[in-house]
Amino acid sequence: MRYRLFGKHTGLRVSELVLGAGNFGTRWGHGAEPDEAARIIDTYAEAGGNFIDAADSYQFGESEEILGDLLAGRRDEFVLASKFSQRASPKDSILVTGNSRKAMVSSVEASLKRLKTDRLDLYWVHYADGVTPVDEIMRGFDDLVRAGKILYAGLSDFPAWRVARAATLAELRGSIPLAGLQVEYSLVQRTVEFELLPAGDALGLGVVGWSPLGGGMLTGKYRKGEKGRAEGLGGKVFQAENSQQRTAILDTLIAVAGELGVSPGEVAIAWAAAKGPFPIIGPRSVEQLQANLAAARLTLPPDVMTRLDAVSALAPIFPHSMLNDPANRQRITGGKFDDFVQPIEAVA
């Protein structure tokens, strides 16, 4: 396993594949028993993995409880991340859900108890509630850092303009910087390339991509009659093969995998990793984990990346359709666009 810095605002050296703990537990009716979760953690660690992503809502708190037991005595060997915003219990009230400072404080205290630790290395807002100002969120994060409850903070599943505002507010105030951004990213979910990934790049955020296998669709197993997430979680976090383009993507993926002598899932994860984000793998068994980890040893040739990029490409949206128009590029550079050396990194 190779390691990379988590963004430009931290010195965290994290493994290139993140272990998602959403399948640790069975309170959702679909997941891994504690013994299997233990084997998954051990196998991941033996492969060099050191970045675990959890949430208070996963398996209604059982995921964090299992992690708390499994990390005893080796807590400092991992970057432990968790999230808040949803319910850790079906009985939780409106006051402990959403993005408010009250929900944040209540949630982090409960997560720390379940995880049997005194702090979280990275704390995410699970997703935007649409009503809490990012000013309140960032002030809440700053308070938790000063209290020693968390070390770094990030936003998951937020619009790019709100991510940019949060990062800017923190920068202007000299408070804890926004460290990370989490998004869904795969060959069948590339819309984040229009705004969110460039925002993460320009703002120096560590970007984590969940569901690089499209909920398992990109393994090709559902063509063989397997059910998995298509039914196990009520169809949630599952990308169906429901369009001509998606069928073409999976056909190409399977063909490429055959040519390289690897599995389609390995290719899908390796493609996502090659684009920059840290892919989150969320296995339910050691066998699934081992198949996912194989992607860390795979480097896709340029021609393969080109084929996969082409078959999964999306039609441009405004303003990118205008800004990337060749004629407009020439106008904005006085007719010298082909001679202008573009910056390597996105500019905020």
Q: Using 50, 70 and 90 to split pLDDT, how confident is the model at 231?
A: low
Rounding to the nearest 10 degrees, give the CA dihedral for residues 226, 30, 127, 282.
-60
DSSP string, 120-169: EEEEEE-S--SSS-HHHHHHHHHHHHHTTSEEEEEEES--HHHHHHHHHH
Q: Which residue has the tokens 């369009």?
A: 243
Q: Using 50, 70 and 90 to split pLDDT, how confident is the model at 236?
A: low
**Does the pLDDT at position 187 exceed 80?**
yes
Nearest CA to 140 out of 183, 169, 111, 116 is that of 169
Q: Could you give all domains of the chain from N- to C-terminal order, each with its CATH number?
A: 3-314 (3.20.20.100)
pLDDT at 132: 98
**Span 326-347, pLDDT tens digits:** 999 999 999 999 999 988 888 8
Provide the β-strand partners of residue 51: 79
**Span 129-183, pLDDT tens digits:** 999 999 999 999 999 999 999 999 999 999 999 999 999 999 999 999 999 999 9
Our measurement of the distance from residue 47's CA atom to the centroid of its chain's CA atoms, rounded to an integer in Å, reads 20
Our measurement of the distance from residue 241's CA atom to the centroid of its chain's CA atoms, rounded to an integer in Å, reads 22
58 catalytically annotated: yes
Our measurement of the distance from residue 83's CA atom to the centroid of its chain's CA atoms, rounded to an integer in Å, reads 12
pTM check: above 0.85 = yes
Structure tokens at 162: 């709100």
Candidate list 58, 123, 152, 185, residue with the active-site label: 58
**Span 287-302, pLDDT tens digits:** 999 999 999 999 999 9
